[in-house]
Amino acid sequence: MAFPTYAGRLEKTWYYVFRIICGLILFFLMAPLVILIPLSFNAEPYFTFTSGMLSLDPDAFSIRWYQDFINNPQWIHSIKNSFIIGFFSTILATSLGTLAAWALSRSYTPFRVAIMGILISPMIVPIIISAAGMFFFYSKVGLAQTYPGLILAHTALGIPFVVITVTATLIGFDESLIRASASLGANLVTTWRNVVIPLILPGVVSGGLFAFVTSFDEIVAVLFLSGFEQRTIPRQMWAGIREQISPTILAVATILVLFSIALLTTVELLRRRSERLRGLTPS
């Protein structure tokens, strides 16, 4: 890199030191994943690197734990539950969160600050407090240890992410487009469907992905509200650690890491698309 002519030795030194520090911090954050992935291919039922793995012996590596995951009915049942609960809770959270964000973006909405605080409170309040409150309330109304109860709980936890993401997208929304649509004879539903949704769609989808990841990774609320039939992947992993330590957990964790990376990549692509739609240069 070519430094500016006014850059002194101190600025040049800090330039490299700063990047080294950032690299070390990134390595510190990524080290557990770097260790986790190769351990999932361990041929032995251990959570440590064997001498064969360290010497790169092909016989020391195996996909047996991935096969165990695929052939284990409990794991398959758990992943089905995670996708079913995550799908329906994401639909509800995205729909309700988008409508709430649209209402809160209107200057004439009363008590906007108070309503926003209530909506994002699940992000602020410790999850164990929210889960305990949900448990006592759902037990009274018969929703504890049911699929609808878990879906509603995950919806409440996912709505804040949708509200924040869609609200950020609406900041750059051009209000004159709504007035232009109305002047051309479009009603509110047509304007919302043909004008508003296409422009805020990247933010809506990003919020939905965050809501889905929140539901897919949630464990505390599931421990409080689910029964044996409603076990999700995180609870199955928790039970596996407590009851029977098996490297199958490492294989599942590796799959979840790759799945999360794919979702985050999608979110980033949508963010850049949203910036291009608003006439900004993607950063």
Task: Going residue by residue through the chain, which has 283 residues, state the pLDDT in tens, using 9 for 90 and above.
Answer: 566 666 677 777 888 888 899 999 988 888 877 788 888 888 888 777 888 888 888 888 888 888 888 888 888 899 899 999 999 999 999 999 998 888 888 777 788 888 888 888 888 888 889 888 899 999 888 888 889 999 999 999 999 999 988 888 887 777 777 778 878 887 877 887 888 888 788 788 888 888 998 898 888 889 888 888 888 888 888 887 776 677 888 888 888 888 888 877 877 787 677 667 656 555 5
The CA distance from 269 to 127, in Å, is: 30
Q: Provide the 8-state DSSP code for 57.
A: -
Q: Measuring CA to CA, how many Å separate 139 from each of 136, 221, 222?
A: 5, 13, 14
Provide the 10 A C-beta neighbour count for residue 23. 10
The CA distance from 80 to 229, in Å, is: 11
What's the pLDDT at 7? 67
The CA distance from 122 to 164, in Å, is: 12
What's the pLDDT at 242? 72
Residue 225 phi, psi (nearest 5): -105, -15
Instruction: Give me the residue label for tokens 């770097």.
Output: 34
Q: Closest Cα to residue 40, out of 29, 49, 31, 30?
A: 49
pTM above 0.75, yes or no: yes
Q: Does domain 73-277 have CATH number 3.30.70.1450?
A: no
What's the pLDDT at 275? 67
Q: Domain limits of the chain?
A: 9-60, 73-277
